[in-house]
Amino acid sequence: MKKLPERQKKFMNYNDIRSILLLYESDMNERNAIITKIINELEKDGKEVIACGYVKKKKATTPFVTKSCMIDKSMLNFFYEPDKIFLAKLSENTYDLVLDLTLEPQIPLMYVLGYAAASLKAGRKTEAHHLLDFMIDCEALQDEESLQPTQEYSLFKEILFYLKNINSR
């Protein structure tokens, strides 16, 4: 990943963001109701969303989430790096934001995060801090009482709050 070209980092306000690559860990049934809800909210705001999920199965079935790709174990090499063709195709597209909603380190999605061409990369605070430009501390989210059903949704709402309220001009 050190061989990747240097990218232009730019903080963007939510209103300026047009395209989003959403990274998530898929549930084993690949239904992902919360991710679908998040995508619908973003699309309602006029954002173009492409979702990329990782499922810890040998072979993924057809993903339930529209406009998405699913990475499974059949697409990974010994080091959990996704297929070179997949990564090359990914790097052809540019995004305003990569939104990483994984709560635990997922090596295949860390590769995707590294290869994705985006002005801004946001997600949870992690040891791989060099991959993200904007991070939210999930431990703080866990301490708060939340009415939301999952931590992914809480992380999404927290990132959205900051993107909407911080002026990037």
* Predicted pLDDT at 48: 95
Q: Alpha-carbon distance 45 to 37, whole Å?
A: 13
pLDDT in tens, the chain (169 residues): 566 667 788 888 999 999 999 999 887 665 678 888 999 999 999 999 999 988 886 665 655 555 678 888 888 898 888 988 888 888 788 999 999 999 888 999 998 998 899 999 999 987 766 788 888 887 765 544 443 447 889 899 999 999 998 775 6
Residue 51, classified by CB atoms within 10 Å of its CB into exposed (0-12), middle (13-18) or buried (19+), is buried
Q: What is the C-alpha separation between 60 and 71, in angstroms, rounded?
A: 7
Instruction: Report the pLDDT value the prediction gives residue 10, as an integer from 0 to 100.
Output: 86
| Residue ranges of domains in the chain | 17-165
Please give, one letter per residue, the 3-state secondary structure of 84-127.
HHHHHHHHHCEEEEEEECCCCCCHHHHHHHHHCEEEEEEEECCC
pLDDT at residue number 101: 93
* pTM metric for this prediction: 0.86
Where is 137: in which H helix or E strand?
A: none
User: Residue 150 has which token pair?
Assistant: 């999952």
3-class DSSP state of 36: helix
Q: Name which CATH class applies to 17-165.
A: alpha beta
- Round to whole Å and give the CA distance between 52 and 99: 10
Residue 47: which of 20, 72, 74, 8 has the closest Cα? 20
